């Protein structure tokens, strides 16, 4: 299984177990993509999933380009 797809599946399971409602996966608009759009307690969440192929521990925001913010 693709590492990225597996990471997204794990993320979806994680959020569902915590009572988030998944609205969209891999939502595309023009050339942009949002991995997961979910809602919980009337708050809309835009979730970017990143997976690493090694055991290095880093802050997640280091691996997200500034354009994604």
- The pLDDT tens digits along the chain (69 residues) read 566 778 899 999 999 999 999 999 999 999 989 999 999 999 999 998 887 777 667 776 776 777 766
* pLDDT of amino acid 68: 67
- Give residue limits of the domains in the chain: 3-62
> Which strands sit side by side in the sheet containing 32-40, from one edge to the other?
21-29, 32-40, 43-47
Alpha-carbon distance of 35 to 48, in angstroms, equals 5
Radius of gyration, alpha carbons of the chain? 13
Residues 6+ apart with CB under 8 A from 44: 37, 38
The third-level CATH classification (topology) of the domain covering 3-62 is Trna Endonuclease; Chain: A, domain 1 (3.40.1350)
* pLDDT of amino acid 69: 66
Alpha-carbon distance of 61 to 48, in angstroms, equals 10
């Amino acid at each position: 299984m693709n590492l990225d797809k597996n990471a997204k599946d794990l993320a979806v399971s994680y959020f569902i177990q915590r009572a988030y409602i998944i609205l969209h996966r891999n939502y595309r608009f023009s050339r942009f993509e949002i991995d997961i759009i979910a809602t919980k307690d009337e708050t809309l969440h835009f979730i970017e999933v990143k997976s690493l192929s090694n055991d290095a521990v880093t802050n997640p925001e280091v691996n997200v380009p500034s354009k994604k913010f």
